[in-house]
């Protein structure tokens, strides 16, 4: 089968790989119909390299069940599915408490075992999530990033009538805007330094957009409100990781979703907001909870099915898998604007 395999930093190859085969009675083999690029893929491609040289990469996908072990009962051959990419040990103290996102031995498909940038993938049945027939594959392939956002939002005190600011309008930020509305947010502010991303944020539900390139976001926010209830950091930038602390009102909350791959210098002004405004600051990681894979998954499936989450609306590029090496280079080149990039292995 065709696949994308990562051999080193900026060394991604489109090449043949062995088909997965059933080894356990709980295995499920899925024909990959759509698979998207995650922001973490970009960081690993550009800066970190693979966990295992030559591993089949990728973890945001949807497809069709083509084969399953004798113990698999919750999905059938021919059924449309997506998959939770997290692999947990079930043995550490956190797994024993059902805190699977904190598993000491947590891994993800595409790290130490083959991922979804391929024609087919094998998953344990517990990781396979069934989908309604009417959900499109390209929406279904984005259930995973949606579950990432939902995992964070479930930890916050967001409720109907809340004001929410989302700092960083990449893929996770755009999904966070939609989830904020699902959670009942009255007003949503989208913040970025890219006008194209802000326009997309406006189109998918942000009430106000703020370009913070020249004037700090918190200063511009004062024209609308004295501070938001919940501020979401989804850019993963050292700069925004500090600036987001000035967005909530007294007693407000900050949710960190982005991962800054570098030190975060925080000016006194921003750090003092934590103390003087008595902020609640929370980090969030991964997309799973108990019972595995957690309520993030059926919730995401439900709101995609109802149309409240329009995940495919943030897709800007749809391509065959063979264009993977080229498109990754173009993305990190920074000369073009990209939203979500979706590959379709059947197009190869």
Q: What is the pLDDT of residues 28-52, one digit of tens each?
A: 999 999 999 999 999 999 999 999 9
Instruction: Give the per-residue pLDDT at 141.
Output: 98
For helices 296-306 and 143-153, angle between their N-to-C axes, nearest 10 degrees: 120
- 335, pLDDT greater than 90: no
Give the CA dihedral 43, 244, 287, 312, nearest 10 degrees.
-80
Query: Does pLDDT of 59 surpass 90?
Result: yes
The per-residue pLDDT of the chain, averaged, comes to 97
User: Does 334 score more than 90 pLDDT?
Assistant: no
Q: State the span(s) of the chain assigned CATH 3.40.50.720.
A: 156-283
Question: 337 pLDDT band (50/70/90 cuts)?
Answer: confident
Task: Tell me the residue ranges of DSSP E strands in 237-344.
Answer: 248-256, 280-283, 315-319, 340-343
Domain with CATH 3.90.180.10 in the chain: 2-144+287-347
Using a pLDDT cut of 90, give the percent of the chain over it.
Answer: 97
Distance separating alpha carbons of residues 40 and 327, to the nearest angstrom: 15
CATH class of 2-144+287-347: alpha beta
Q: Shortest CA distance to 226 belongs to which of 205, 252, 201, 204?
A: 252
Dihedral (CA of 75, 76, 79, 81) sign: positive
Query: pLDDT tens for residues 89-142?
Result: 999 999 999 999 999 999 999 999 999 999 999 999 999 999 999 999 999 999
Pick the CATH number of 156-283 from 3.40.1190.10, 3.40.50.300, 3.40.190.10, 3.40.50.720: 3.40.50.720
Neighbours of 332 (CB within 10 A): 13
Q: Is the pLDDT of residue 336 over 90?
A: no
List the one residue out of 214, 217, 267 whose CA is nearest residue 242. 267
């Amino acid at each position: 089968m065709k696949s994308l395999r990562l051999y080193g930093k900026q060394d991604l190859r489109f090449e043949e790989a062995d088909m997965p085969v059933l080894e356990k009675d709980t295995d499920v083999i899925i024909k990959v119909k759509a698979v998207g690029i995650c922001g973490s893929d970009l960081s690993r491609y550009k800066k970190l390299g693979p966990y295992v040289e030559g591993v089949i990469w990728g973890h945001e996908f949807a497809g069709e069940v083509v084969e399953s072990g004798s113990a698999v009962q919750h999905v059938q051959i021919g059924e449309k599915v997506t998959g939770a990419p997290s692999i947990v040990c079930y043995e550490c103290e956190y797994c024993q408490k059902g805190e699977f996102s904190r598993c000491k031995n947590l891994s993800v498909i595409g790290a130490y075992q083959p991922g979804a940038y391929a024609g087919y993938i094998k998953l344990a049945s517990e990781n396979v999530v069934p989908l309604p027939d009417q959900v499109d594959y390209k929406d279904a392939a984005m259930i995973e990033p949606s579950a990432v956002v939902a995992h964070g939002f479930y930890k916050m005190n967001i409720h109907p009538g809340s004001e929410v600011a989302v700092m960083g309008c990449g893929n996770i930020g755009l999904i966070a805007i939609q989830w904020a509305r699902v959670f009942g947010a009255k007003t949503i502010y989208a913040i970025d330094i890219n006008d194209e991303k802000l326009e997309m944020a406006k189109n998918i539900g942000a009430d106000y957009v703020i370009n913070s390139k020249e004037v700090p976001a918190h200063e511009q926010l004062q024209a609308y409100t004295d501070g938001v209830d919940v501020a979401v950091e989804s850019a993963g930038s050292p700069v925004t990781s500090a600036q987001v602390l000035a967005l909530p009102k007294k007693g407000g909350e900050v949710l960190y979703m982005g991962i800054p791959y570098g030190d975060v210098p925080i000016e006194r002004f921003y750090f003092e907001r934590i103390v003087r405004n008595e902020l609640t600051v929370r980090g969030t990681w991964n997309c799973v909870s108990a019972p595995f894979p957690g309520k993030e998954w059926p919730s995401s499936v439900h709101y995609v099915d109802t149309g409240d989450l329009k995940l495919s609306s943030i897709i800007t590029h749809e391509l065959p898998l063979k264009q993977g090496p080229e498109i990754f280079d173009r993305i990190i080149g920074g000369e073009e604007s990209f939203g979500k990039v979706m590959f379709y292995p059947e197009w190869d």
